[in-house]
Every structure is written in structure tokens, then in C-alpha cells.
Structure 1
Amino acid sequence: MCGITGWISYDQDLTTARGTLDAMTQTQACRGPDSGGVWLDTHAALGHRRLAVIDIEGGKQPMLVQQDGRTLLATTYSGEVYNYRELRSELAGRGHVFRTKSDTEVVLHAYLEWGEAFTERLNGMYAFALWDPRKEELLLVRDRMGIKPLYYYPTPDGVIFGSEPKAILAHPSVRPVVDAEGLAEAVTFVKTPGHAIYKGMYELRPGHTARVRRSGLTVRKYWGLEAREHTDDLDTTVRHVRELLDDIVGRQLIADVPLCTLLSGGLDSSAITALAAKGLAEQGRGAVRSFSVDFAQQTENFRPDDLRPTPDGPYAHALAEHVRSEHQDIVLDSAALMEPANRAAIVTARDLPVGLGEGDTSLYLLFKAIREQSTVALSGESADEIFGGYRWFHLPETVNADTFPWEASGALDSFAGSENGGRVSLLDRRLLDKIDITGYQDARYRQALAEVPHIPGVTGVEKRMREICYLHLTRFVQFLLDRKDRASMAVGLEVRVPFCDHRLVEYVFNTPWSMKTFDGREKSLLRAATRDVLPAKVADRVKSPYPSIQDPGYAAALRTELGRVIADKDAPVRALLDTQSVSTALDQGAGETYRMATELVLGLDGWLRDYGVSLEL
């Protein structure tokens, strides 16, 4: 994986900018704990932190292609190109000579051979920069689904970029300023493509490139979801989904370091774990290793609710036994989730105050424990968005609501059990009026709807479900992919997401909704395509989201922490709060009712303190 950063300035000599580049690069040391490097040219400075996964010795960066003492191309690269071996063979046949076994060098030569059209040939997750000293041009590239992050900050004479905002904010000319729109984006569950929260900063959209020249910066779309008529019958569709999954998982098992899977016992992660076990066995590489997260005493004392009818533990263990994986449960408790250092770590990892509360902290701690034993993990993330797994895909009131379906369901606000369903309920009413969350969400929803590609003549339920699927694949999945990337890379763990392979996404997106629900349930196609490698108990399990701690002590600890923050006259978040609502929350014991709202307040306070954010509202 890795972290990248850089600075292009056409008006300055950047060969003297090592101090600045070192500072920018160091902010991402967690993304690349194995090594780091900086490369300086007259108008380009590139920084890199490396997590070594493929070609441990040969893949060091920034990497150059040189000829007759001249540098033809330089890159700082993050990610994995899963078809690099095929591309390497093709390029070697065209006369290219390679000195390493890394996918990074293949990307460099692919650009030299095919120019910017090389993006259409890459299969993987990546975000990287290519500097061409001959033309003095920079090309920024992000993978089709936005699995790996990439941010940029245009300047009057160039650009500053990085895998994360923190790298850009480390540049002396950049200040952490957030305006009303940025704050609205930050405190909602809207993940607008291209939006970076911080004023003047942008996130390169998935499937896009940005080219920087002396004349300025231009952005180009090289991939997006398209409407295509689906002509395969049901049996052929199920068979093709399985063929794709076999190929995808097989490719993503490539690694020169220890590899494992994330296993919740749900259909998605179980399918990936079972296919990985099958693939490793066929390659003679032994048993797959799998990891699950659980909370102290939770399996024994589990209380079902509307979101989670069953605990993960028994199902994860059933799948692990079925495929004979080397399985381990990572068990967390309230003390670990409330530990200030752990809560601060996730805010720093995300560069933002928001997320899923303890759901983010527990994910970070899970990844931290896994990293002690493995460097790469395969995840079932994004299957729900692709195959229609969430309950709001199947409820008429949310499908037909004139807004994002996950907002209409209120499920994310109640992720951690909150009873009042309002995580902004402790914020000042005047602040909420100023940032106009409702109006902001509505504008973003209509912007997304206007993008949806339709097939002429398709109406009714099929048309609406195409819209619902598009919203999830371009908005909701971005929130979850970003969460996964930041929590994992904060501890130097590479998490791969097989379900985000663009071939699978394209195919299933254009499959009729009637096929996606042919057995009357969620994720019909995925269940049918993988049932043969799963125990019936797991294949037939009802969808249950990522687990949340049920210990009453956690809610009580949140209340105590809220009281501490409010008592601190210097707490920056105090100016954003409704004092009466906070008083009510403290008097009522906060508990589950204000759980997500309290998580937001604590996150905002840490973010405002640690980042020195200036609010322009």
C-alpha cells in the first residue's frame, strides 16, 4: 500500500524544499512503516512512505525510469495493480526492460507505452502521481471505485497533493479552514465525490485523472458506471458472477507478506474467506487465516435489535470450521474503546471528526491487532452496495423517499443503538440553520440523481432501483471505503476489497433488480453464486451490520466524557453546542439516547483542538 505526497511549483526551485517534503511525507509514516523517500527536481518534489507487499527489496520509491542519464518519468505510487504480471509480459514483448518485480515499475512503463490511455488497462486499487520532467507535467490517477484516497490543493503556480489531507496541511502555505459547506459535509452521512471538507482542497474523484501543467490543472473522467442492457439469463448471470469472483479473489491473493481475511460470519466476508481458502489450497499455500471482532461477554449476553438480529460469533466460527481456517477472535472492551489515545488515533487517521463512533474505534483496534500477525487482509466490504444487501433497499418507504435511502431509514444515526436517531441533536440550533444540513443533503441528492445512467424505456421499480444502486455505488460506498482505508492504514495494514473489482461492479450494476432479488431476499445473486462453498447456516443468515458494543458501561463512559468536555471552558467545541440540549443529555444520563450525538461532540472537540481548524461560518 503506501502513502504519497508531493508539491509542484513552476515558480520555485524545489530542489531546496527537502525540509517541507520531509514534513509532508512524515505525516503518512503510518501508511508506510517500512521505508520512505523523497525525490526533488527543479519544479517537482515527490514524497513516499512504503508498506512493502510486493517485491520487498526492489519496490522502493519514489521510483524513476531513466535512459542515458536522463529521468524519463518519476512516480510516487500507492496501491496494487492486480494484473501487473500480464501487463509486464505484454510490455516486455514491446521491448521494455524491467529491473524490479514490482507493480510500480509496470505502471511507469505502461504510461510510457500508452500514455494516459494506460488507465483503461489497470485492474486494482491505486492512487499515484507521475511526473514527466521532459514536459514538466504531473498526472494524478485514482482507481475506478475510489478504494485508495488522493487529495489535491491547487496553488497559483502548481499543486500540492497527498494520500490524506494531513500531508497537504503540513505544507506551510496551507491552513485548515472549513466553511459552512465543509462543515455540513463533515457532520452528515453525505460523501460527495470530489469534496475534501477543507477550504481550497479537493479529493480526486474515483475513475478520474488530474493533469497539472504550467497553464493550470485539468480533470478528466476515464471511467464511470454506464447503462447497458443485460441479456444473460439467471443461470448464466449466477455462473458469471462466480467466475468473476474466482478470478478476482485469485488475483488478490498475490502477496510477498502474510495474508488473511476479515470474517464477520455474514454472507459477504464468508464468501471471500471461503474462496480465499479454496484458492490458497489450490496454490499449495496452506490454510487461510481469518480474524473477527467481538466485544467482551457480548456473544453470551447478546440482545437482538432491529439492525442486528444475531451475533457474529457463532456464524464466524461455523464458517472458519467449514473451511478449516486458522481463526482468531479479537475481543475488545469498553475501556479500550474509551481510551483517549485510541479515540484520538481514529480522528487523526480520518482527518475528520465524524464517522460511526465506537464503530470506527473498534475497527482501528481490530486492524491494529491483526497487523501484529499479518500485513494484507481481504475484506467483504462493498457487497451490500453492489448486490443490494441493506434493509433500506427492500423497504418501500425508504426506496420511495425523496432523499438518500440510508438517510430516510435513520439506520446510520442509530448504528450504535441511539434511540433518538439524531447525532446532530446536541449542536446549536443557529449553527444548524447556518450550515443548513437538510438543504445541503437535498442538493447533493439531486446532483447524484442527475448523474444516473438509464436504459431508455425502463420505468417503475427497475428504474428506481437503478437509481438506488447508483447512489450506493457512488456515494455511500465512498464513506465506507474511506473509513476502511484510514483505519487500516493508520496501523500499516493493507485491506483489499475484492467486491470493488470494476468488472464485477459493472456487470451487477446492469443486472435487473428482479434478478438481484430472485429468491425473495437480499443479495440473491451472491448467495446463489457462492452457496456451494458455504455452510447452509451462513449462506441463509439474515443481514447483520458491523457489530456495536452493547455494554451499558460504554454509554456511561461517554456521558462522563461529555461532562468533562463541557466543564472545560477552553474546549473549542463548546461554541458549537446547544447548552440546553447538552444539559438535558447529562441530566437524563445520556446513555443510548444521545450516544451518537455524544460521539460527534467528542470527535469535533478533538478535531478542532488537534488540527487548529478555523471555522468560517
Structure 2
Amino acid sequence: MCGIAGWIDFERDVSREPATVAAMTRTLACRGPDAEGLWTAGNGRAALGHRRLAVIDLEGGRQPMTAEDDEGRTLASLTFCGEIYNYRELRAELAALGHRFRTAGDTEVVLRGYLQWGEQLATRLNGMFALAVWDTRSEELLLLRDRMGVKPLYYLPTAHGLLFGSEPKAILAHPQASRRVSAEGLCEVLDMVKTPEAGVFAGMREVRPGHLVLAGRQGTRSRAYWRLEAREHPDDLPTTITTVRGLLEDIVARQLVADVPLCLLLSGGLDSSTVTALAARHTAAAGGGPVRSFSVDFTHAESRFEPDAVRGVRDTPFVHELVRHVGTRHSEIVLSSEELADPSVRAAVLRAVDQPPAFWGDMWPSLYLLFRAVREHSTVALSGEAADELFGGYRWFRNPGALRAATFPWLTSGSARYFGGLALLDRGLLNKLDIQGYRQDRYHEALAEVPELPGEDPQERVMRRIGYLNLTRFVQTLLDRKDRMSMAVGLEVRVPFCDHRLVEYVFNTPWAMKSFDGREKSLLRAAAADVLPRSVLDRAKSPYPATQDPRYEQTLRTELARVLADPGSPVLPLLDRSRAARAVDRPLSGVSRPYDRGSLEMALWLNAWLTDYGVTLDV
């Protein structure tokens, strides 16, 4: 895993400004703490930067990496972030075609693959990746992002070229980039929509998952190399269960390859437990010792936990049961409210995200702290994200009201409060932004993309639509959170459920099979039945844990009171100050819940963002 950045300009010699590309690249030092590399094209039209987290081929994988012809002329230069899980097969294929390799890792396979197949390389890669190739022959830049958008990649077209980076901060380090945010950009910040390609900062875009961007003298263009398609599902239920299991076994085995310490992130839920159990089984069969696993909990959680609408029980007892069942070498990371509210931690979270991480409140700093603790022991981790979106784990998959609603299902009655946070904002501002109108426009755009299968049952058509929205919109917020919080501490997190082969297969599996036993994620439950303890198999869906400690909420209130008292606080024009003052002073209950703290979190993150990033709002 790494961080990439670059600058191309067809009217300017960028080699004369090495400090600019170096500054862009160094903003990504957390993503790649092991090495830094810079490369400039001979004619000065392109400069590429790279920050490396060494995972495979520790000595040979330095970047940017170039390929030369027999006379020593550079053909192409690559800066690459991610992992290619089928690189060994591709390497053998390329070697048979006459390519010679100097290194043992996946980076050179990607570079040589580009020389052989050009932009068609994209369809051959199995992995999570964001990469840039400068072709010195055509003077064209290729930006390429993985199918599910596990790894981020942003770009900003300029008058005579393009800037790009793994995160917005790399682009913002360039003097041509603007820190202005339009009304649409602010809507992206404030609402749970995550529009593909939309960037928050003016002019900035994100390479859409499954897409590539080509930039040359004639301008910049984007095209899809992969998208979800509607296909007939020919398999019966037993065959489908067997196929899902076989895919998962192959995926997990491929993602266990690393030349550095590797671990599993374990919540005690079905998703992470399945990955952990399969990883433990594969490692044992290969003659290895017990796999290492990590979980998170909060101080006083055992004595103070109270069930709510989405968290009926604590994770920890199920974690312990799974650990005993498969025999992992387990560590539990216990976090305190003081750590979650630590200003240095919250500042690190904001720096990692480059925009207010407004939803899920303390889950951002807690994930950051968990990953920071894990990084002391491991460089790579496997996680369970995307299983709920793929197999139908969320409650809105089974809520008739959500299925009928003319909006994103997670923003309907019963779910919307978990993604709220606008209660303290000025009503005039919200009316001007017309967030509801913005949301509806984005929803109808998404609906227009949903593939259809001729003659499909109406109920199956509805569930295909819900699945598509989850796999192209909702999951991206989780993948972004995972990526930013892990890479902020130099930890690579792999996501087996995002393997495109599994996604394609399960997306086209009828809902009747996905829910054949009347429960959520029936198909995944059946595929993992023989490797999990009964308690985990029977457990209802529970989201990532959150603290219930009222001391955390009190810290937020104290900080918001300070912000309200400071006339220079940039967030004040955006707030309903009287409402915010009442929120600070209202009685504090004995249990604090994330959805009750959302508006406090939003106000504080906005203020920090406007302050630290020098943002100008065009609203």
C-alpha cells in the first residue's frame, strides 16, 4: 500500500519545480512511511511522486518504477498504490510473451502489463489499486482505480494538464488547486450520499470505481472498464452456497500473501468471523502457526452497556467465542473516552479525511486508535467490510417502507437518524443548500444506472435496485473510512468481500436465495456454517461498536461551548446559535448514543475543517 501523486503540464517544464511535486508527495507520508520516490519525464511534461509502504518484495518494489527499451529509453513510468492478488499468474503470462523481470513483486507486473495490453490492463487485474502510468511514447497519463473503489484516487484538470493524488491533500498542496467549496460540495459533506466522481473541493474529481481516466494534449476523458451487470443466475441453492464458499476460500488465500506481519480484524460478527476462520484454516493447512487477530472495546463497556435499536449485545463475548473456536492469537484493544476525545487524535482524523468525518461520530477516532494499536504488531490486516451491502445485512433490506421509498434506503424513516447531524445548522443555510433536492437528484441518477434483467420478478427487481445502491453508494463511505483511518497510521487493510468475482456472482443471485432461511445474509451464513461456532452463526447483525460513555459526549459539549464563545469561530455563521447553546446545556443522560451526538460532532468537525484547511464556502 502506498500514496501516489503527480503533475502533468503540456505548457510548462515541471522538472524545474521539483519542490512542488515533492510537497504534494510528502502530504501522503503516512500512507507510505518506508520510502519516497520522485520521477520527472525527460521533456519535463510529467512528474510522478510515490510514498511507499513495503508489503511485497521489500527490496525490489521501489517507485516510481520505469520500463526501458533495449537502448535504455524510458517507455513508461508507474506510480502504484495497492495490491494485485493475481500478479503471479500475470507474471507467468507476461514472461511467456517475452517480458523480462528485475523484481519479484506486483509493481513490475503492472508496469509490464501496461506495456503489453495498454489500458486493457485494467480488466486483467484482481486487486485493490489506484495507479498512474505516464507513457513517454504517447505523452499520455493513465489513471486507473479498482472496480469497487477500495483505494482512493483524486484528480484536478488544469488549463494545460492535470494534478492527481491518493487523497485531496496531495492536490491541495499544489498552488493551482483551490480550497473553495461550492454548495454541491458542501451537500456532499453534509448528506450521506457519496456521489461517484464528485469531489468536495472546487474542480476536484474522484476517479470513479471501475473507471480509468486518460489525460493528454487533447484534454481529459473518463470511461468505465467495469460495472455491475444484470445476468441470469443458473445455479440452484446448494450450488450457489458451494460457489460462494469456494470463492471466499480462494479470495482469502490470495489476500494472505505478504512479506510482512499480517493479522485479522475481528468483531465477532458473521463477516469478520468468516474471514478469520477461513484465514486460520488456510494458514494451518499450509503449516503455519495461529493467525493473529485484533478487536476493539471501550472501558466500562461491560458494566455500562445498554442495548439499543441496532446494538442488542456487546461484541466482546462473540469475539472470545470465535477466538476459542478457531484458535487465533488474539489481542483486545480497549479505548477510553479520554483517548477518543483527545484533540491530537481528532486532528489526526481530520488530516486523514480532508473533510468533516461527520457520520458515525466517535467511530472515526476509535477506528484510528484501533489501527494505530494494530500497526505496532502488523503491517497488513484483513477486514469484513462490504459483506452487508453484498449479502443484504442491513435492516433496510427487509424494511418494506425503505424498499418502497423514493430515496436512498438508509435515509428513510428508521435509519436516517443514524446519518443525521444537521440539527444545529442554520435553517436558512439548509434551505439555501436544498439538501433534499440535491439528494433526490443524486438518487435518480443512481436509479438510472441500475442494470435490468428482462422478465425479472418485480420483487427481485426491487432488491436488485437496493443492492446496486448499496454497492455503488453506501459501501464507498465505509471503504473511505477504512482506507483513511488505516493509511493514516501506515496500515494496509484488505477487503476480501470486495473481490469483483464474488461481487458479480452474489449481485446476480436472486434475493430469494440470499434470504432463503428468513434471516439477513442467509447465503453467507450457509457458506460459513461449518467453520463458525453456533453463537456467531445465530448472531443478529450489529454495526461497528460505539462508546456509550456520557463523558465522551460531555467533552463534545464543552468543546462546542468554547467554539460558541469565540466570535472568531468560522462555523458560527453556519449554526443556529440558540439551538446549539441549548444542546450544550440540556441534561446529560446516563447513556450516550452516537445518533444523539451527531449534531455536536458535525458542528465541531465543520469548525475544525474551516479553521485548519482555510476553506472558503461559495454558498
2:571 alignment partner, SS class: helix
Contact 1:204 1:210 in 2 (8 A): yes
2:113 — aligned with what?
110
The one-character-per-residue Cα deviations of 1:355-406 (angstroms, maximum 9, x if unpaired) are 3210111000000000000000000000000000011111111111111110
Residues in 2 aligned to 1:283 and 1:7: alpha-carbon distance in whole angstroms = 45
Contact 1:559 1:590 in 2 (8 A): no
Residues in 2 aligned to 1:255 and 1:594: alpha-carbon distance in whole angstroms = 42
Contact 1:336 1:342 in 2 (8 A): yes
The one-character-per-residue Cα deviations of 1:32-65 (angstroms, maximum 9, x if unpaired) are 0000111112100000000000000000001011
Offset at residue 590 of structure 1 (A) = 6.4
Offset at residue 599 of structure 1 (A) = 0.3
1:371 — aligned with what?
375
2:62 — aligned with what?
60
Residues in 1 aligned to 2:416 and 2:257: alpha-carbon distance in whole angstroms = 35
Aligned length: 611
2:616 is the alignment partner of 1:614: yes
TM score, norm. by length of structure 1: 0.98
1:413 alignment partner, SS class: helix
Q: Which moved more, 1:368-377 or 1:582-591?
A: 582-591
2:147 is the alignment partner of 1:147: no
2:478 — aligned with what?
480
Contact 2:360 2:418 in 1 (8 A): no
Letter of the 2:183 partner, please give it: A
Offset at residue 579 of structure 1 (A) = 1.2
The one-character-per-residue Cα deviations of 1:252-310 (angstroms, maximum 9, x if unpaired) are 00000000000000000000000010111112221110000100021333211110001
Residues in 2 aligned to 1:589 and 1:202: alpha-carbon distance in whole angstroms = 43
Offset at residue 346 of structure 1 (A) = 0.8
Letter of the 1:155 partner, please give it: T
1:112 alignment partner, SS class: helix
2:398 is the alignment partner of 1:394: yes
Letter of the 1:328 partner, please give it: S
The one-character-per-residue Cα deviations of 1:493-515 (angstroms, maximum 9, x if unpaired) are 00000000000000000000000
Aligned equivalent of 1:86, options 81, 86, 89: 89
Any unmatched runs of 5+ in structure 1? 416-421
2:250 — aligned with what?
247
1:76 alignment partner, SS class: strand
Contact 1:159 1:212 in 2 (8 A): yes
Contact 1:65 1:71 in 2 (8 A): yes
1:205 — aligned with what?
208
2:17 — aligned with what?
17
1:419 — aligned with what?
none
1:336 — aligned with what?
339
Offset at residue 410 of structure 1 (A) = 4.7
Contact 1:162 1:168 in 2 (8 A): yes
Offset at residue 168 of structure 1 (A) = 0.1
2:488 — aligned with what?
490
2:313 — aligned with what?
310
Contact 1:17 1:45 in 2 (8 A): no
Q: What is the 5 A alignment of 1:68-467? A: 68-353=71-356, 354-411=358-415, 413-414=417-418, 422-467=420-465
1:476 alignment partner, SS class: helix
1:572 alignment partner, SS class: coil
Residues in 2 aligned to 1:590 and 1:131: alpha-carbon distance in whole angstroms = 57
Offset at residue 588 of structure 1 (A) = 1.2
Letter of the 2:46 partner, please give it: A
Residues in 2 aligned to 1:429 and 1:459: alpha-carbon distance in whole angstroms = 43
TM score, norm. by length of structure 2: 0.98
Residues in 2 aligned to 1:343 and 1:93: alpha-carbon distance in whole angstroms = 51
Residues in 2 aligned to 1:586 and 1:273: alpha-carbon distance in whole angstroms = 42
The one-character-per-residue Cα deviations of 1:146-199 (angstroms, maximum 9, x if unpaired) are 000000000011100000000000001112110111101111111100011111
Offset at residue 586 of structure 1 (A) = 2.0
1:85 alignment partner, SS class: helix
Offset at residue 450 of structure 1 (A) = 0.7
Offset at residue 409 of structure 1 (A) = 4.1
Offset at residue 594 of structure 1 (A) = 4.5
1:309 alignment partner, SS class: coil
1:205 alignment partner, SS class: coil
Residues in 1 aligned to 2:368 and 2:417: alpha-carbon distance in whole angstroms = 20
The one-character-per-residue Cα deviations of 1:340-364 (angstroms, maximum 9, x if unpaired) are 0111111111111133210111000
Offset at residue 412 of structure 1 (A) = 5.8
1:37 — aligned with what?
37
Offset at residue 459 of structure 1 (A) = 3.6
Residues in 1 aligned to 2:562 and 2:212: alpha-carbon distance in whole angstroms = 46
Residues in 2 aligned to 1:98 and 1:412: alpha-carbon distance in whole angstroms = 52
Residues in 2 aligned to 1:413 and 1:170: alpha-carbon distance in whole angstroms = 36
Residues in 1 aligned to 2:235 and 2:395: alpha-carbon distance in whole angstroms = 27
Contact 2:359 2:598 in 1 (8 A): no
The one-character-per-residue Cα deviations of 1:2-48 (angstroms, maximum 9, x if unpaired) are 00000000001111121001100010000000001111121000000
Residues in 2 aligned to 1:176 and 1:153: alpha-carbon distance in whole angstroms = 12
Residues in 2 aligned to 1:583 and 1:603: alpha-carbon distance in whole angstroms = 17
Contact 1:58 1:100 in 2 (8 A): yes
Residues in 1 aligned to 2:174 and 2:564: alpha-carbon distance in whole angstroms = 33
Contact 1:355 1:483 in 2 (8 A): no
Aligned equivalent of 1:500, options 498, 501, 511: 498
Residues in 1 aligned to 2:360 and 2:59: alpha-carbon distance in whole angstroms = 38
Residues in 2 aligned to 1:484 and 1:158: alpha-carbon distance in whole angstroms = 31
Segments of 4+ moved more than 2 angstroms: 409-415, 589-594
1:541 — aligned with what?
539
2:228 alignment partner, SS class: coil
1:573 — aligned with what?
571
Identity over aligned pairs, percent: 61
Residues in 1 aligned to 2:201 and 2:162: alpha-carbon distance in whole angstroms = 15
The one-character-per-residue Cα deviations of 1:498-553 (angstroms, maximum 9, x if unpaired) are 00000000000000000000000000000000110000001110111000101111
335 and 598 in structure 1: CA distance in 2 versus 1, 3 angstrom threshold: same
